[in-house]
Structures are given as structure tokens and as C-alpha cells.
Amino acid sequence: MIFWNLFISFFKVGLLGFGGGLAIVRLIYDSIQPFMDMSRETFANIVAISQITPGPLAVNTATYVGFEAAGIGGSAAATFGVILPAFLIVSLVCRTIQKFRDSKIVNGALQGIRPATMGLIGAAAATLVAPALAGDGRLGTGILAKLGADTAGGVFGSLLGLPFDAVSVLILIATVILISKYKKSPFLVLIIMGCIGAVLGV
């Protein structure tokens, strides 16, 4: 039953998830809730791993969610479900692509879908922001947690009491600046920030 649920849920994601990438993250999360009790933090971790793993975000997320739900069989069911709609649709329309490209109806539909895609990306952000920047236990057992325990009234002690994780916020800001202003490689920035997080115990 779990394999069928995974297949159907990700088939719907593959069929209706227009915009790809972050635009379908919220759609995936909502689709698996009826049969999976997955926390937002766990899902955010899966999305983060899917982002740095080679391949499309939707396919990678389906694979990891399926494995979390039902092991290798779950991965296969979810992955097959998410890629099947695209395979079928492309196979059917590849010979008439020019006709669809010049269609006023298709172009009008695309104009309506674009802002909806932006809304989906916003919904994905709302899903991922809280677990990414939450304050409870985010300093872990790393260097900052130790400093906070040793200097309860100092700066690091104050960091432990914030409603958000100050280090995660700084990493977010630094990432945006490095990529948007200084045009650094996202791959390199991910590696650097991952190492910083590992060392500090974020």
C-alpha cells in the first residue's frame, strides 16, 4: 500500500508540478502528508541533500522521500512515479511541438502559470524557512554550544537564547552576498558553508 501511495503521490507531482525545482517543493510536502508523518525539519534536510545531489530536484527528492518511507522499494516507486508523466507527455507532443508553441491558448495558459509558479516558490520558502533558521537546539554540541555553556552570560550564551539560529541567518546572508554580488560558484559556496556549519555545530 505504501508503494502505491508513493507512486500515485509523485505521479501527481510529476503531472501537475509546473515550474520544477523549488516551485514543487510545497506540492511534494503536502502530497506525502496523508500517509507519512514527516516533520518539516526532516523534509528540509531532504530538500537540502537533493539540491546538492546531481540530478533534478524533484527526482532526487522523490528518491529520498521514498527511501525514508519504505526503503529501496519506496525509492523506486516514488522515482518512477515522478518521471513517468514527463516521459509520457514528451513522447506524445514531441512531434507537434511547433503547433503548441504557436497556440494562443497555450501561450495564455503559460502567462497564467508563471505567477502561480512564483507563488509555489513562496510556499516552498515558507515550508523551509522555519526548520532552516529555528533556534531550538540548532547550535548542537559544536564549538558554539560549548562556548555558550562556558559563558552563559556572554555573547555566545545570548545566541543560545534567541528564537532563531543567528549562525544560520549569517550563513544565509553570506551565501546571498557571495553568489549575487561577488558571483562566486554556488557549488563552492555550498561546500564552504557546509564546512562552517559542521565545525560550529549548527
Q: Tell me which of 100, 115, 133 is where a domain ends.
A: 133
Same domain for 74 and 22? yes
Using one digit for the tens of pLDDT, what is the confidence trace for 170-202?
A: 888 999 999 999 999 988 998 898 888 877 764
Same domain for 90 and 178? no
Q: Tell me which of 100, 133, 166 is where a domain ends.
A: 133
Q: Tell me which of 108, 133, 158 is where a domain ends.
A: 133
Residue 138 falls within a domain, yes or no?
A: no
Region 15-42 average pLDDT:
84
Same domain for 92 and 23? yes
Same domain for 119 and 75? yes
C-alpha cell at position 156: 555566545
Sign of torsion over alpha carbons 156, 162, 167, 173: negative
Residue 62, pLDDT score:
94
How far apart, in Å, are the Cα atoms of 143 and each of 34, 54, 104, 196? 39, 31, 59, 11
Residue 6, pLDDT score:
95
Helix H or strand E encompassing 162: none
Same domain for 21 and 113? yes
Residue 47 falls within a domain, yes or no?
A: yes
Using one digit for the tens of pLDDT, what is the confidence trace for 63-110?
A: 999 999 999 999 999 999 999 998 998 888 777 766 677 778 877 887
Same domain for 8 and 104? yes
Does residue 126 carry a pLDDT above 60?
Answer: yes
Q: How many CB atoms lie within 10 A of CB 130?
A: 12
Band the pLDDT of 125: cuts 50, 70, 90. Answer: confident
Q: Are 44 and 131 in contact (CB under 8 A)?
A: yes
**Structural domain boundaries enclosing 101:** 2-133
Domain count, the chain: 2
Using one digit for the tens of pLDDT, what is the confidence trace for 138-169?
A: 554 455 555 555 554 445 555 555 667 777 88
C-alpha cell at position 117: 509558479
Indicate the pTM of the whole model.
0.68
Residue 152, pLDDT score:
46
Region 2-14 average pLDDT:
94
